[in-house]
Amino acid sequence: FIGAAAAYLDTLKQQQEVLGVRHPLALHTAANYATSVAAQGLFADAAETLATVLAARRATLGHDHPDTRHAALSLNDFVVAGGAVSALKQALELRADAHGLQDAVLDALTLIADHRGAAVAGVLRDLSNASLIRLKKMAETNSAL
């Protein structure tokens, strides 16, 4: 995704120079750039870029145009995802301090289930349980030595 973001940014700069910053093609490339940045987990940066795209699309295409609506929905997704990641990190840190790592992991999985679906949480829970079992076995082995 890093390579894609760099390519989109290079193309965007050229399009803005030749076509202008509010040209629909340049706005489309800017939206694609934002998506590639979001795919790297940089939701705040992606949201900032997409907010600019949304404002320009509203000004040039109107509020009801499908591209404008798509930009608004994508911006919402980036803001929610960024907030969820931030909240998850904070929850993990606080729970780990208060109750230990295992409770923090389980709480994080609950948050993910609430925000992103039980299927993802189930997979992560299985991985987490397997990791905890391995850690317990390693601790038991080390204490037996």
SS3 content of the chain, % helix, strand, coil (to 5): 90, 0, 10
Positions of the chain with pLDDT lower than 70, given as ranges: 1, 84-145
Phi-psi region of 20 (alpha: psi -120 to 50; beta: other; left: phi over 0): left
CA distance 4 to 36: 6
The pTM score is 0.60
Classify residue 36 by its DSSP letter. H
Q: For the chain, how big is the Rg over CA atoms in Å? A: 21
pLDDT confidence of residue 121: 47
pLDDT confidence of residue 56: 95
Number of H helices, E strands in the chain: 6, 0
pLDDT confidence of residue 123: 45
**Minimal CA–CA distance to 125: which of 144, 92, 102?**
102
Retrieve residue 134's tokens: 């391995």
